[in-house]
């Protein structure tokens, strides 16, 4: 294997590892995966060009090589992650994680998280330990069709390569602009990155003159380094900025300059696949104990990841790749995949079903479609609850941290014979802040915010209950803005436009641990919201004091306080009925 390719692999996994370990100065470490796609297209296609025989024979040999290369290590890590998650992650997460584990074993994780609307670049404090399998899903889905397309069309008609690269690139950028989260995961928006490497593999004449090889390599390395240092989550991916990382990788491949082992990157490249597989679950297990990583924890993550990647490479990956006695047929590999899927899914699903006194249910407003998902701008039904015949209306408004209060607010509305209108939307706060997802404005959120103000002013309710999550991991304003100042300005702008009395329900404390009691902390945004309420003469409800004293228990009123990383459970919300009833106006 060329040392420059191994060095490129080593660089890619290094930046991904440092980025996931929360080294903040590496803003674009996620681009390491895009570089991997370029390398993959180049290496795999180079191997395909060496093949001979019938179409069926070459395709079969290709799939066998992929199975030997990918399946042993990926299935091993998937199973081990599922088993370790039972011990390191909270029981409330197991049901959800069982589906994540199943998708990882079946190489459909990217489609699974796309369906859920999971923003990869804006993870919460309980990210899935299987999330990183999304890139394997993209890769294997591409290689389901590529060998056939290569042998039938592209091998003899290289003229189609550049038009394909152009069309797939334009499609990716266009689709990112209209659906940034889905675009991140689906394979069609990543094809152009594979084709960037494929074009180089199929046109060996694309070689820079010897005297320009070293300058070309240097420019390539500088380009990918700058990309990973300065491109950030403010830039849509895949998007125009992704071209910088892809172009840099292409220049390194074109230059063909050997990278000496002393630079360590080629050696790291030898373990890149195993290191990619093991590092992310380790990060997640650390985050389960504390939502932020200390400097010592970051070093520990790197060292543990290196150790496990070494073991996985030498005891699983290489034996299955190179030892003939471990050679399996495609049928046998299919059985292995199915068995791995059952074990990964079953270990988590079984323990989830046996967990006692756990409430992982969602408020009813999720099931009936009145709590809006990503991409939906307004409900298609009235979303009225409580005493529907009452002339006294109240409105519950905000994001999912307003929806978490729905069970108890609905109960109060029935008790006091109020008509309750629920207007909540995932990851879309009741403010006038621009919500950004994968570097793009969430237009459905922007539309919803405008319609929300209009609806409140049209209905003129007795009062509006407003609650929002206050610790978003992605910007709610333009990158140059100050988060705290923008939040205060956005909330003030929102409440100034509504002509009904309003009550701000303070955000619930964000757990710093998902497995042990944690210290009570209130975000700076929560404090800003309380100060704003006092300044405007509005009522503010400090819910943190209801849940926490000296510490915040992970169990409340006999069951789990939180159903996930930030949302209180339905049981907890209902247990706070008396407290909320006591502070609401009697109208």
| Phi, psi of 46, deg, nearest 5 | -60, -40
Residue 479 pLDDT: 45
Residue 299 pLDDT: 96
The DSSP symbol for 463 reads E
Please give the domain boundaries of the chain with CATH numbers for all domains. 3-354 (no CATH), 364-583 (3.40.50.1110)
Cβ within 8 Å of residue 214, ≥6 positions away: 255, 257
- Give the number of C-alpha atoms closer than 13 A to the C-alpha of residue 429, restricted to the C-beta side: 31
The DSSP symbol for 313 reads I
Nearest one of 478, 543, 537 to 509, comparing CA atoms: 543
- 151, 59 Cβ separation under 8 angstroms: yes
Radius of gyration of the chain (CA): 26
Cβ within 8 Å of residue 295, ≥6 positions away: none
Residue 353 pLDDT: 59
Give residue for tokens 């950028």. 173
Residue 480 pLDDT: 47
Please count the other Cβ atoms lying within 10 Å of the Cβ belonging to residue 334: 13
Please count the other Cβ atoms lying within 10 Å of the Cβ belonging to residue 440: 19
- Angle subtended at Cα 130 by Cα 25 and Cα 323, rounded to the nearest 5 degrees: 105
Element (H, E) at 440: strand 440-441
SS (H, E, C) 108-158: CHHHHHHHHCCCCCCCCCCCCCCHHHHHHHHHHHHHHHHHHHHHHHHCCCH
Q: Is 324 exposed, middle or buried (0-12, 13-18, 19+ CB in 10 A)?
A: exposed
Pairing status of strand 419-425 against strand 393-398: parallel
- 366, 403 Cβ separation under 8 angstroms: yes
Element (H, E) at 332: helix 330-354
d(CA 301, CA 443): 38
Q: How far is CA 140 from CA 44, 133, 134, 188, 343, in A?
A: 12, 11, 10, 12, 21
- 357, 558 Cβ separation under 8 angstroms: yes
| Phi, psi of 444, deg, nearest 5 | -65, -35
Residue 355 pLDDT: 57
Element (H, E) at 215: helix 210-230
Residues in the chain: 587
Q: What is the pLDDT along the chain (587 residues), one digit of tens a residue?
A: 799 999 999 999 999 999 999 998 999 999 999 999 999 999 999 999 988 888 899 999 999 999 999 999 999 999 999 999 998 888 888 888 999 999 999 999 999 999 887 766 555 557 899 999 999 999 999 999 999 999 999 988 899 999 999 999 999 999 999 888 899 999 999 999 999 999 999 988 788 888 899 999 999 999 999 999 999 888 889 999 999 999 999 999 999 998 886 678 999 999 999 999 999 999 999 988 877 789 999 999 999 999 999 999 999 999 998 888 888 898 999 999 999 999 999 999 888 756 556 888 899 999 999 999 988 999 999 999 999 999 999 999 999 999 999 999 999 999 999 999 999 999 899 999 888 777 788 889 999 999 999 999 999 999 999 999 887 654 444 444 577 778 888 889 999 999 999 999 999 887 776 666 676 666 666 777 788 788 888 899 999 889 888 888 888 888 889 888 789 999 999 999 999 999 999 87
Q: What is the three-class DSSP state of 297?
A: helix
- 227, 245 Cβ separation under 8 angstroms: yes
Q: How far is CA 243 from CA 5, 234, 550, in A?
A: 19, 15, 51
- Give the number of C-alpha atoms closer than 13 A to the C-alpha of residue 475, restricted to the C-beta side: 18
- 437, 119 Cβ separation under 8 angstroms: yes
- Angle subtended at Cα 390 by Cα 389 and Cα 394, rounded to the nearest 5 degrees: 125
Residue 527 pLDDT: 75
- 38, 193 Cβ separation under 8 angstroms: yes
Pairing status of strand 436-437 against strand 440-441: antiparallel
Cis-peptide into 11, omega within 30 deg: no
Nearest one of 13, 124, 83 to 281, comparing CA atoms: 83
Two tokens at 99? 């589906």
- 196, 250 Cβ separation under 8 angstroms: yes
Cβ within 8 Å of residue 344, ≥6 positions away: 75, 78, 79, 81, 82, 101, 102, 104, 105
Q: Is 305 exposed, middle or buried (0-12, 13-18, 19+ CB in 10 A)?
A: buried
The DSSP symbol for 28 reads T
């Amino acid at each position: 294997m060329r040392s420059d390719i191994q060095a490129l692999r080593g660089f890619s996994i290094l930046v991904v590892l440092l980025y996931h370990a929360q080294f903040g100065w590496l803003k674009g470490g996620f681009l390491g995966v895009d570089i991997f796609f370029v390398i993959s297209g180049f290496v795999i296609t180079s191997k395909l060009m060496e093949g001979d025989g019938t179409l069926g024979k070459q395709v079969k040999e290709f799939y066998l090589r992929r199975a030997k290369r990918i399946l042993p290590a990926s299935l091993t890590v998937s199973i081990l992650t599922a088993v370790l998650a039972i011990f390191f992650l909270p029981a409330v997460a197991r049901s959800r994680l069982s589906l994540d584990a199943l998708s990882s074993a079946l190489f459909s994780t990217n489609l699974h998280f796309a369906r859920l609307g999971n923003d990869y670049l804006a993870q919460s404090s309980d990210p899935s330990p299987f999330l990183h399998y999304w890139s394997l899903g993209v890769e294997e889905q591409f290689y389901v069709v590529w060998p056939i397309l290569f042998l039938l069309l592209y091998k003899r008609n290289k003229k189609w390569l550049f038009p394909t690269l152009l069309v797939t690139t334009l499609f990716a950028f266009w689709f990112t602009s209209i659906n940034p989260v889905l675009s991140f995961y689906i394979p069609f928006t990543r094809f152009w990155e594979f084709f960037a490497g494929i074009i180089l593999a199929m046109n060996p004449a694309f070689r820079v003159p010897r005297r320009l090889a070293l300058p070309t390599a240097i420019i390539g390395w500088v380009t990918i380094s700058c990309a990973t240092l300065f491109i950030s989550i403010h830039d849509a991916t895949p998007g125009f900025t992704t071209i910088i990382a892809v172009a840099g990788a292409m220049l390194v491949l074109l230059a063909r300059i050997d990278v000496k082992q002393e630079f360590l990157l080629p050696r790291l490249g030898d373990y890149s696949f195993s290191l990619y597989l093991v590092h992310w679950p380790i990060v997640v297990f650390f985050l389960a104990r504390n939502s932020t990583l200390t400097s010592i924890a970051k070093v520990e993550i790197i060292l543990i990841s290196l150790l496990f990647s070494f073991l996985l490479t030498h005891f699983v990956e290489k034996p299955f790749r190179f030892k003939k006695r471990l050679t399996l047929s495609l049928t046998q590999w299919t059985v292995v995949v199915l068995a791995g899927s059952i074990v990964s899914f079953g270990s988590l699903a079984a323990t989830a079903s046996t967990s006692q006194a756990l409430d992982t249910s969602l408020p009813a407003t999720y099931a009936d479609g009145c709590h809006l998902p990503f991409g939906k701008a307004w409900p298609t039904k009235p979303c009225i609850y409580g005493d529907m015949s009452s002339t006294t209306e109240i409105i519950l408004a905000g994001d999912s941290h307003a929806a978490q209060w729905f069970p108890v607010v609905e109960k109060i509305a029935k008790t006091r014979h109020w008509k309750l209108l629920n207007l909540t939307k995932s990851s879309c706060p009741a403010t006038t802040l621009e919500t950004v997802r994968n570097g793009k404005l969430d237009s459905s959120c922007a539309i919803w915010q405008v319609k929300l103000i209009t609806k409140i002013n049209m209905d003129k309710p007795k009062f509006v209950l407003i609650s929002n999550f206050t610790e978003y991991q992605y910007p709610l304003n333009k990158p140059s803005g100050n988060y705290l100042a923008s939040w205060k300005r956005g909330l003030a702008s929102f409440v100034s436009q509504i002509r009904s009395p309003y009550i701000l329900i303070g955000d619930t404390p964000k757990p710093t641990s998902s497995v042990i009691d944690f210290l009570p902390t209130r975000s700076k945004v929560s404090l800003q919201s309380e100060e704003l309420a006092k300044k405007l003469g509005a009522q503010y409800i400090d819910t943190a004091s209801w849940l926490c004293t000296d510490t915040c228990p992970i169990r409340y009123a006999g069951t789990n306080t939180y159903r996930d990383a930030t949302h209180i459970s339905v049981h907890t919300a209902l247990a706070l009925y008396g407290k909320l009833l006591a502070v609401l106006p009697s109208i």
